[in-house]
């Protein structure tokens, strides 16, 4: 069975602090896909990144970076120099082979205070 | 504009009164899914569809039906809604192309069953 664990329910930081959101996953598939989505207070769900199981390269996009480690089954997300606009719920998700069935973590609510 | 639309956005109904939530996408995506979002549980997949006339159960299919008669539409049917189906529902679509399995979400439908 597949599982995604986001152990941090809520995180509160002050603007300009760095923050890392943890994601640990379980799957028996050899090919799988990992995602991060953002849900701001307005409620929509916004795609941030996808990683394939065969591509362990870390990625940086502006203030966002992702660290994928198959050895520890983790796909962590770091926001550097956080801003108030980063306040949102962040979801980590896992899709197995074929990309159909998708399991989401419970989400981490990030509060960034000015 | 590429988008996923859902209707209605808000719905209050009574136990046992059949309802349908519509979902439509204009991106020619093969894959579509329905999720429900409940506090502390993240998003849970109800049903997904790999293409026209091909659907399968997600993790929480009980009490729901779907159909995929056209590629762009994927309605969610609650034949006899119950209060435990009060939730926020999201439809999503994705493809197996270059943006493999990245899901585009609709704006959500907030359903209350009394």
Say if the Cβ atoms of A100 and B40 lie within 8 Å: no
CA distances from B108 to A99, A111, B11, B40, B111 (A): 22, 23, 11, 17, 10
Residue A99 has pLDDT above 80, yes or no: no
Q: Which residues contact B31 (CB under 8 A, 6 or more apart)?
A: A99, A100, B48, B49, B50, B51, B93, B94, B95, B96, B101
Confidence of residue A27 (pLDDT cuts 50, 70, 90): very high
CA–CA gap between residue A102 and residue A33 (Å, rounded): 9
Q: What is the mean pLDDT of residues A16-33?
A: 95
Residue pLDDT, tens place only, A101-112: 899 999 999 999
Q: What is the mean pLDDT of residues A67-88?
A: 96
CA–CA gap between residue B96 and residue B86 (Å, rounded): 32
Of residues B40 and A90, the one with the higher pLDDT is A90
Distance from CA of A87 to the nearest CA of B (A): 17
In contact, B76 and B34? CB cutoff 8 Å: yes
Helices H / strands E in chain B, number of each: 0, 11
Residue A104 sits at the chain B interface (C-beta within 8 Å): yes
pLDDT by 10s per residue, chain B, length 114 = 889 999 999 999 999 999 999 999 999 999 999 999 999 899 999 999 999 999 999 999 999 999 999 999 999 999 999 999 999 999 999 987 765 788 999 999 999 999
Which pLDDT does position A96 carry in this prediction?
Answer: 85
Residue A93 has pLDDT above 90, yes or no: yes
Which pLDDT does position A48 carry in this prediction?
Answer: 94
CB pairs under 8 A between A and B: 66
Residue B39 sits at the chain A interface (C-beta within 8 Å): no
Which pLDDT does position B33 carry in this prediction?
Answer: 96
| Mean confidence (pLDDT) of chain A | 94
């Amino acid at each position: 069975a597949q599982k995604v664990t986001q152990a941090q329910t809520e995180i509160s930081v002050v603007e300009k602090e760095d923050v890392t959101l943890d994601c640990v996953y379980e799957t028996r598939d050899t090919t799988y896909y990992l995602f991060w989505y953002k849900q701001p207070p307005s409620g929509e769900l916004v795609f941030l990144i996808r990683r394939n199981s065969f591509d362990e390269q870390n990625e940086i996009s502006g203030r966002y970076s992702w660290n994928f480690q198959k050895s520890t089954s983790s796909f962590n997300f770091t926001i550097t120099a956080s801003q108030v606009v980063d306040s949102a719920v962040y979801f980590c998700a896992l899709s197995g082979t074929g990309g159909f069935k998708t399991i989401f973590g419970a989400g981490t609510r990030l509060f960034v205070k000015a | 504009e590429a988008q996923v639309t859902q209707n209605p956005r808000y719905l209050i109904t009574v136990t046992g009164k059949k309802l349908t939530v519509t979902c439509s996408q204009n991106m020619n995506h093969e894959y579509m899914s329905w999720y429900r979002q409940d506090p502390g549980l993240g998003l849970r997949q109800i049903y997904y569809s790999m293409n026209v006339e091909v659907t399968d159960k997600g993790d929480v299919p009980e009490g729901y039906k779907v159909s995929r008669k056209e590629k762009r539409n994927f309605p969610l049917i609650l034949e006899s809604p119950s209060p435990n189906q009060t939730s926020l529902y999201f439809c999503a679509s994705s493809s197996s192309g270059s943006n493999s399995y990245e899901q585009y979400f609709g704006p959500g439908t907030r359903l209350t069953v009394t």
